[in-house]
Amino acid sequence: MTRLTAILLLVAVPTMTRPVALPSVKWTAMAPSAGAAIGGVVMVQLRGVISPGGWIYSSNQKPGGPFATQVIVASGQPFRLAGRIASSAPKAKFDSTLKLPVETLEQEAVFLVPVKIDAGAGVGRRTVRIEVRYEVCDERVCLPAHAETVTATVVVIR
């Protein structure tokens, strides 16, 4: 092997074996630090930071196309959805691959989730579980839709 061939292999091989990063979303949830009483409603902010070049589809995405993002208050806890969920404004565009109009959220997705505190919550610091179901894509790939559970701490007062 010549010296030039060895140098080229040292440079080329590591770049050929690097894994390609898949699109992703990092989800967090936060409730206001001020407490809310049993029977009251607290606004939980669900925030997704989307990897560069990636997107998710809005919760208003029309049926018959890609998977619309869904946000729900998980069952089996003393919390429930108390109204309409607001979200950051989507970007409307025509998807030439799907051949239909789509609504996407890029870089960041924010959802404001009104959560009612049921009587079984008790007083003190409590954890509310929010489920988000979504499909994340970039120019190369769309990953299958899946669900993640995110938690926030809610202070329940008298």
The CATH number that applies at residue 140 is 2.60.40.1250
Number of domains the chain contains: 1
Residue 16 lies in a domain: no
Residue 2 lies in a domain: no
Residue 17 lies in a domain: no
pTM of the model as a whole? 0.86
Edge-first strand order for the sheet with 91-95 is: 91-95, 100-106, 55-57, 136-137
- CA pair distance 46, 130, nearest whole angstrom: 8
- Cα atoms found within 13 Å of the Cα of residue 140, Cβ hemisphere only: 7
Residue 91 lies in a domain: yes
Residue 148 lies in a domain: yes
pLDDT tens string 33-43: 998 999 999 99
Positive/negative CA dihedral, 65, 62, 104, 147: negative
Res. 3: pLDDT tops 80: no
- Domain of residue 65 covers 22-157
Res. 11: pLDDT tops 50: no
pLDDT tens string 60-118: 999 989 999 999 999 999 999 999 999 999 999 999 888 999 999 999 999 999 999 99
Residue 144 lies in a domain: yes
- Asked if residues 130 and 117 have their Cβ atoms less than 8 Å apart, the reply is no
